A and B are shown apart, each in its own frame.
Chain A
Amino acid sequence: MKHAMWILWPSFLVGVVAEGVFFSMVDPTDLHLFGQPLELSRSAVYTLGFFLFWAFAAASSALTCWLQHGINGSESSDA
C-alpha cells in the first residue's frame, strides 16, 4: 500500500507537470498518430495524454522502487 502511494503519487505530480508543459506548446489538433490526424476532441486528448504521462512516470517510479528494494534487501542480509 505504501509502495503504491510512493509510485502513484510522485508520478502523478510529474504527470501534471509533463501535461502542462507538453500541451502548452503542442496543440492536440496538430497531433498525428501513424500518419493519421487524431480524430478526438481536445478534451479527450488532454485526458488521455495526462494518463499516458502518469502511466509512464509510474512505470519509472515502480522500477526505481523495485531496484531499490533489491539493494536494501542485500544490505540487510549482509549486515
Chain B
Amino acid sequence: MRHPASGLPPAPAGVSPGGSDSEASLYEVRQKIYPRAVHGWFARWRIALVLATQLIFYGLPWLVWNARPAVLFDLGARKFYVFGWVLWPQDFIFLTGLLVVSALSLFLFTAVAGRLFCGYACPQTVYTEIFMWIERMVEGDRMQRMRLDRGPANAVRLSRKALKHGLWIGIALWTGLTFVGYFTPIRTLLGEVASATLGPWETFWILFYSFATYGNAGWMREQVCKYMCPYARFQSAMFDRDTLIITYDAQRGEPRGSRSRSADRARLGVGDCVDCGICVQVCPTGIDIRKGLQYECIGCAACIDGCDQVMDKMGYARGLIRYSTLNAVAAKWDVRRMWRRVLRTRTLIYGALLLAITCVLLGALYLRTPLKVDVIRDRAMLARETRDGMIENVYRLQIMNTSERDRRFTITATPESGRAGLQVMAAQPVAVAGAHTASVAVAVRADPANLKPGTYTIRFHVEDADDPALKVDEKSRFYMR
C-alpha cells in the first residue's frame, strides 16, 4: 500500500503478498508469530480498554430498566429498547445518524492519531488480546510456546492445548450467548439453555457468533487485519504528514548495532538502536517498525513499550519508537510544535461536524414526540350516505405509543380550510399500552348542507387525553358527494 501523503517508500510487507508460502502460512497461521508479552504504559492502556469495552459488551444485556432489559433489539416485535427510549422502524433515521457519527469519529481519530481504533478498541484486537492472555497463562510466554509447539506431542503438550482450546471455546460460547442476548432477553435465553428449550434460530446464531469469535481471535488473528479489513486499506486516504503514528526515529537509531551497556556510542559510531529485535518480537502482526510505516501495523504501540524498556536498560532516553508525525520526525519538532500541527484544518472540520451532528441527533432524540400516527383511507369505498343524510368516509388510524407509559388518546378531525365541523365516530378515548400500537377504525361524517361535493384535505388531531401537550396532526382526504 502506498502512503501518498507520507513521502515514504511503500514499505514491503513482512510476509510476501500472494505466493505459495503465504498461502501455506494461512493454514498454519501461528507458524511465525509468537508475540512476546510486553509491559508498559501503552500496554496498561490497552488492558484498561479491553476491560472497559468487554465490561460494556458482556454487561449491557444484564442491565434492567423499567423492568425490562435496558438494551434490547427486539427483532421479533420490531422494536429497539435503548434505556429510556423505544425505537421503531420509523426511527430508522436515528440509526443512520448513529452510523454517520461513528464514521466521522473514525475519520477524526484516524486523522489525529492513525489506527487508534485498531490498537485499542476493535473487537478483533480485543478478543485476540483476551485469547492471547489465556494462551500465555496456559502455555507460557513466547519461548515456552515455541518450544512447546516444536516439542513432541506428549501428554503435557496435549493437555495444555486441550485446556487452552477448552477455555477459548468457553469464552467464545459466552460471547455468542451475549451477542444473542442483545436480541432476546439474556435471562430468558439462559433459562432456555438450562432447560434445553432454545429455539433453532437462537441456537444457530449463538454457535455462529461463537465460531466466528473462536476462529478470528484464536486462529486468524493478524490475518484478519492484513487481508480482510477494509479499514486497513483505506486509512491511507485519511493520513497525512501530521497524523500521529507509530514511528521509529531512524535519525536517532541508525546505524543500529549491538554494543555493551557501557560502550561509548559516539566512539563506536552507532545510533541508539541496539538491534535487539524486541520491537519485532512483541509485534502482533510480526512486522519490523524500523522499516517505516506499513499497512499491517495496527498501531497497538506494543513496540513502543518494548523499546522503551530496552532504552531504560541501556540508560538511553525513551522514545526511539514513539507516537509522532512524519513532519515532526523529519524536522525534529518538539512535542508542542507537533501537537499544534495535529490540530489542523482537517481535524478541526471533522471535529466540528462531529459535534454538530451529535448535538442535532441528541436534540432530536430528546424532543422526539412519543406518539406517531398513520392514517390509511379505506380504499374500498370513497364516501357513503348514512341513514340520517350525512356523508361518511372511513379510515384506519395506526396510533403508535412509543413511550413506555400507557396512554389514552382522543381523536378529532377538522377540514384544512376552516368552516364546517367534522364528526368523528370512534370509541373514544383510545387506550394504547406503553410501546404498543393500536389500530382504530374511524368514520368521519360531514353534513352535506355545509360542504359542497368535492375532495377536501382534512386533518386528524390525536391528543393525549391526560397530557394535551402531546398531540400529533396527520393529513388525509375527505370525499364529499
| A residues lining the B interface (CB < 8 Å) | 1-2, 5-6, 9-10, 13, 20, 23-25, 27, 41-44, 46-47
Contacts and interface: CB of A to CB of B under 8 A. Distances in A.
A27 B89 contact: yes
A64 to B, nearest CB: 14
Contacts of B228: 5-6, 9
A56 to B, nearest CB: 19
Contact of A24 (B23, B89, B202): B89
A1 B27 contact: yes
B376 interface: no
B26 A24 contact: no
B230 A42 contact: no
Chain B interface residue count: which class?
A: 20 to 34
Nearest to B91: A24
B333 interface: no
Contacts of A1: 23, 26-27
A41 B76 contact: yes
Contacts of A10: 230
A1 B223 CA distance: 11
Interface in B10-37: 18, 22-23, 26-27
Contacts of B23: 1-2
B57 interface: no
B201 interface: yes
Interface residues of B, dominant DSSP: helix
Contact of A6 (B95, B199, B204, B227): B227
B205 interface: yes
A47 B75 CA distance: 11
A13 B230 CA distance: 10
Given A2-B227, A47-B201, A24 B92 contact: yes
Contact of A47 (B18, B204, B227): B204
A15 to B, nearest CB: 13
Looking at chain A's contact residues, is the secondary structure mostly helix, strand, loop, or mixed? helix
A65 B63 CA distance: 45
Contact of A43 (B18, B95, B199): B199
B147 interface: no
Contacts of B227: 2, 5-6
A26 to B, nearest CB: 9
A12 to B, nearest CB: 9
A10 B227 CA distance: 11
13 contacts: A1-B23, A2-B22, A2-B26, A2-B227, A9-B228, A13-B230, A20-B95, A24-B92, A24-B95, A43-B75, A43-B76, A47-B201, A47-B204
Given A2-B227, A5-B228, A47 B89 contact: no
A27 B26 contact: no
B195 to A, nearest CB: 19
A25 B76 contact: no
Contact of A42 (B18, B27, B76): B76
Contacts of A20: 95
Contacts of B201: 41, 43-44, 46-47
A22 B338 CA distance: 46
A9 to B, nearest CB: 4
A25 B89 contact: yes
A43 B199 CA distance: 10
B78 A27 contact: yes
Interface string B194-211: 000001011011000000
B211 to A, nearest CB: 13
Nearest to A3: B23
Interface string B349-390: 000000000000000000000000000000000000000000
Nearest to A6: B227
B227 to A, nearest CB: 5
Given A2-B26, A2-B227, 9 more contacts: A1-B23, A1-B27, A5-B223, A13-B230, A24-B89, A41-B76, A42-B75, A43-B75, A43-B201
Contacts of A5: 223, 227-228
Among B27, B78, B202, max chain A CB count under 10 A is at: B78
A23 B95 CA distance: 13
